[in-house]
Chain A
């Protein structure tokens, strides 16, 4: 049994000292940040990395609900995607064509919000979205490759959500990750009549993982310098086959009914 931790004078004094230090130095690790603005590479809402000196971590406030408002992806920030959902906003497919549970990372390890996706080797990740009502769409997604790996180990493209045909490849803004370890991928497509999905592929080695976060699909105001003039780099034959397998799987498993009952857990 854990002993009751009654308030003690020592603890109070320690806290008091801590408060005084914070107040005088103005270097409280508790910072506040809204994390819904995509920002640019190396900036944005990511938690600052620990200093090289004595600081062991930083602390900040984040919005558990993700964002930004108006994102045309169902859950671009991964904050509302959890294991066990019947039809989650993201679909992860293993190389053998089977569906796999999306792994999640948390807190300041993510770029924005409280959760982000973990991309594993040979896992194809598809985020569901819609087309903008009266314009093209501009897409962004961030990935954090394993240490020492370039941004190209993760590839992002937009798909027609019905046919899974390629709409365009998202360009890497840089070849190497920014100081915070994250890479930005951007692109835009003209107005679509059908839904738009974001597909994330990778060339990670077995056992390696990358983080993905802060994916947005927003109405394009026409100012995107990286707007596609053509579908860009087409999927390889292997990638196209995987996309087609994913399309068929999703079509066959899309639920039109009451979700299968989840096993009831003992409330204790």
Chain B
């Protein structure tokens, strides 16, 4: 009987149609023999039984023009006599159009998939100039499956302005790229109320409802980016299981004892979630509460394209030239413009050495830390006192979430700064999706030749040579690089560069400056090649990975730590150093935002004969590896698992490697074209040259 009101409305006047559709939120069903019965309320769909209308965006790469699907006639199709088999290449997708009524509406889509993995979404494209942005509704399992392998996927309710939409289609990517996946029985059923797109100023803008979040100046309907709300019993099971997984596998001594309880409490609140967005945004927030460099959760909500640009990078520093106008925050360092792209449209008048004093009226780091509930890309050091990750991501955070930001401009020629800040409205920045300079925490480069380019694209590259402004007799050489991904291969790209560099330094250098200010980590073989330059063989730590024993909080006392070390010393020791190390070669290591293998690296360097670490603060303290999980509907997460214990029995995760010489980039130096950290490192090396 439940279908009758729907039918009655459908047979009525056009105005009554929407009224009746709004009561429908079901999908197709099955008769007692297991034959699919399409939902009579469906207003559009695709059974993949005959020709389909494929959509290929006009600017798609040429390799994506080739049809990566076949229509298969088979008895075991869900709907009708055939299904779609899709096997899409890397970075391509297949899209199949559906026709919706030319009115505003809200719909729920379901589709069935089988074999492998499928990323499915409904997509609504509006024409340029319409003022309407792309709408993407991710699809994830309802839990309904068939004995012949089919899995039902569903979207949450998504709005379509049928009069304006240029294309409405199902997009599928099989991801596995192995045997492909089957797709059948797409149905779109009216459900919910149409939600118009709305502009907003910044996160917290009341223009957005509780089910929306303001990202890039538009209220984003959260449910579009996440799977449906798990039903009551399943929601409890998911909370139970995720809590158990974190208790069993997550983290190390510091994060388990301090941060895990916070995350578990957040997970508990999800049992009562009333909407998909409440549940899944809380899920992500729980992961971010674990306060760990390697730990995160991802959804499509974290991938909204920016519409504006800030072609510049921020860095923590000492705003010595402007503190009379705007005092330093008691906890956080000042935030300075490290470098910019070419002066012009993307820099908005900001220049190197300017100081970012506030975002939405708060210190930028304080403001950024306050985004934990909404920022899916949140990235933080394990060490509670380290905030370099926030500074490095600051320009992206401002564009995505801020309403205003305030800058004290400075005059490099005069070496002076304005007495008051200029406040920018983010929404008033011109719409501009142009490129942005990379942020590597290096205001300048210092090799005599062969420096990275003006776009600061260090990435996977290695830059090496004699330091500019030094003499041949001084023989001071340097290297600029970010990755330590050796991958266990001595002949691989990374390790071969490091081996070659060390050989050259041994042969020719009287002093070395290693510039690793955006240390992205990698694998633990790579640091060993560099440590071999400066230290004799030594067991530095043990790092059994992943977690070894369920729920182990790690050593709580020095005695427990030493026992842990002894247990694993023979099977999971990190040994580094070489008998051919050079005790007389001064090596300065410049750090700024470094984590994981880029924590182990300075840990191994620190304290060696003639090594000195320079940086504004400790490294991230991310002494672990991590495990990765993939769910459905674009949802994935990863978390750290295991600890590293030093030879003295100290658990290392959570405490970054402190510089021997704390040096903050000084605003006055930036204005004068100087790099404070490099200057300090060079001065020390010059005073310590190998005889």
Contact = CB atoms under 8 A, between A and B. Distances in A.
Interface of A: 1-9, 11-12, 14-16, 18-19, 21-22, 25, 27-30, 36, 47-50, 54-70, 72, 74-75, 80-89, 101, 103-109, 114-115, 128, 130-133, 161-163, 192-195, 219, 248-249, 251-260, 263-268
Given A29-B32, A193-B567, A7 B146 contact: no
Given A130-B549, A251-B488, A5 B43 contact: yes
Contacts of B20: 7
Nearest to B39: A15
B40 interface: yes
Contacts of B1: 16
A80 B38 contact: no
B136 interface: yes
Contacts of B37: 14-15, 18
Contacts of B489: 252
B370 interface: no
Interface in B85-119: 90-91, 93, 95-101, 113-117
A15 B40 contact: yes
A214 to B, nearest CB: 15
Interface of B: 1-4, 6-7, 10-11, 20, 29-35, 37-46, 52-53, 57, 60, 75-76, 90-91, 93, 95-101, 113-117, 123, 125, 134, 136, 140-141, 143-151, 171, 173, 175-179, 187, 234, 237-238, 240-241, 244-245, 248-249, 300, 303, 305, 483-489, 520-525, 544-552, 567-568, 571-572, 595-598, 600, 622, 624-632, 636, 638
B550 A72 contact: yes
Given A56-B34, A103-B176, A255-B625, A84 B630 contact: yes
B521 A57 contact: no
A79 to B, nearest CB: 8
A176 to B, nearest CB: 21
Given A2-B99, A9-B7, A11-B38, A130 B546 contact: yes
B488 A29 contact: no
5 nearest CB pairs, A to B: A252-B488, A257-B521, A82-B630, A57-B34, A107-B145
Contacts of A75: 629
B30 A29 contact: yes
Given A63-B143, A69-B244, A101-B176, A1 B53 contact: yes
Contacts, number: 349
B116 A103 contact: yes
B116 A81 contact: no
B146 A59 contact: yes
Given A50-B147, A105-B115, A195 B630 contact: no
Given A87-B626, A103-B116, A60 B42 contact: no
A63 B52 CA distance: 32
B217 to A, nearest CB: 17
B145 A114 contact: yes
B330 to A, nearest CB: 31
A81 B42 contact: no
Nearest to B543: A256
9 contacts: A16-B1, A49-B147, A59-B147, A74-B249, A107-B149, A194-B567, A252-B523, A255-B626, A256-B522
A28 B32 contact: yes
Contacts of A83: 117, 175-178, 630
